[in-house]
Structures are given as C-alpha cells and as structure tokens.
Amino acid sequence: MTIKTAKNDYPILDQLRERWSPRAFNGQPIEKEKLQSIFEAARWTPSASNIQPWRFIVGEKGSETYKLIASTLVEFNQLWALTAPVLFLAIANKTTPKGGTNTAALYDLGQAVANLTFEASALGIYVHQMGGFDNTEAARLFDVPDNYTVATAIAVGYIGDPEILHENLKKMEISPRERRKAHESVFTGKFGQASEIFD
C-alpha cells in the first residue's frame, strides 16, 4: 500500500500532506457514519450569499445508482474507478433563489468537495475526482434539472494495493507527487509579479 505524502516546503496540516488521489481502492465498504460525516463536512462549506449550490448523487457498489454513474465514465477511468466502493456525482445549482445566474456556483461546489475531501482524509478515506465522464449523459440518467450542472464524478474508498491495477496505471500510482512551487502562483502588485512573502 503506497501513501504518497507531499514533500512540502512550508508546514501544513497532515491531512493536506497525506491527501492524494489513488486509483487503487481495496473495495472495503465505507461505514455509513463516515459517509454521513463526509457529507456533513460539505454541508458546512461557506458559499456566496449562503446559497449552498452543491448537490450530490451517491451510489454504493452493487446499487443501480453506482452502475449508472460508472456507465458515464470514460474508458480510462473505468479501468480503475470500479475498485472504489462509492461513486458520486458533484452537482452545482447555477441559479440564485431569485432566478439569476449564480456566478460562484462552481467555485462553491469546489469548496464543498474540498471540505469533504479533507474530512475523508481525516477518517482514513481517499477521494479521487474525475473530469473524464459524460456529464450530459449523467444529467439525463439522473433527471438533473436544466439549471444544475453535473461538474465532477468522484470515487471514494480505502486505499488498496497498486498491484490490482491495469499495468498501464501502476507507474502513476507509485510515482512521486509533484506541484509547482507556491511562489510561482502567488503574486503582489501585477499578475506575474513575485510576492515578497516568499523572499
């Protein structure tokens, strides 16, 4: 079992250092109370005007919901995601209560998924978000209203042995995690101007 801990330059929480997106899950079902905690963490996410645009459709392995979510995944993701005991869709309401456009909807959904991801991490559970799925088909299969957008498919579970993966995926599972340096993303003054906080 591989745990790809971040090689951070500055101190951060252990849940952040140890969070990563595995493709090998051991298939062990996630306890109901832990799933409840994960989505409770999403519930308490901040959002613009407290609109709370996030919605989730959750399928546990063996259920029709799980099978339908799995059917929307691209072939590459189907190679590994079906080792996860839970699949779910993250959905954003694009409209405000007054019928206007909620320009912060996807931003707030992303925050909610981040919150649930770190709650999961604290519980020893791993989350892998996927853009590789057919969101139009997902919306059709689950009768998602037109004012909502299906943003992401997500696999959740306990980490498994990389040896269970297709040969083409094993290298990605054990390779070191890499990110550009923080100072390359943080500016002061104009865009692209290095911030003095990293001097």
Provide the pairing of β-strand 148-157 with 86-93.
antiparallel
Give me the pLDDT at residue 2, please: 58
Q: Are 78 and 134 in contact (CB under 8 A)?
A: no
Question: For residue 62, is pLDDT > 80?
Answer: yes
Question: At 14, is the pLDDT very low, low, confident or very high (cuts 50, 70, 90)?
Answer: confident
Give me the pLDDT at residue 154, please: 98
- CA dist 106 and 96 (Å) reads 13
Considering only residues 108 and 169, tell me which one the structure prediction assigns the higher pLDDT.
108
Question: For residue 1, is pLDDT > 80?
Answer: no
DSSP code for 197: G
Q: Could you count the other beta carbons within 10 Å of the beta carbon of residue 171?
A: 10
DSSP per-residue codes, 152-189: EEEEEE-B--GGGS-HHHHHHHHSPP----GGGT-BSS
Residues 69-96 have pLDDT tens digits of 999 999 999 999 999 999 999 999 999 9
Give me the pLDDT at residue 142, please: 98
Question: For residue 3, is pLDDT > 80?
Answer: no
CATH 3.40.109.10 fits 19-166, yes or no: yes
The answer to pTM > 0.85 is: yes
Residues 150-190 have pLDDT tens digits of 999 999 999 999 888 888 788 888 888 888 999 999 999 99
Residues 116-148 have pLDDT tens digits of 999 999 999 999 999 999 999 999 999 999 999
Q: Which long-range contacts (CB under 8 A, 24 or more apart) does 39-43 make?
A: 39/116, 40/119, 41/115, 41/116, 41/118, 41/119, 42/112, 42/113, 42/115, 42/116
The ranges assigned to domains in the chain are 19-166
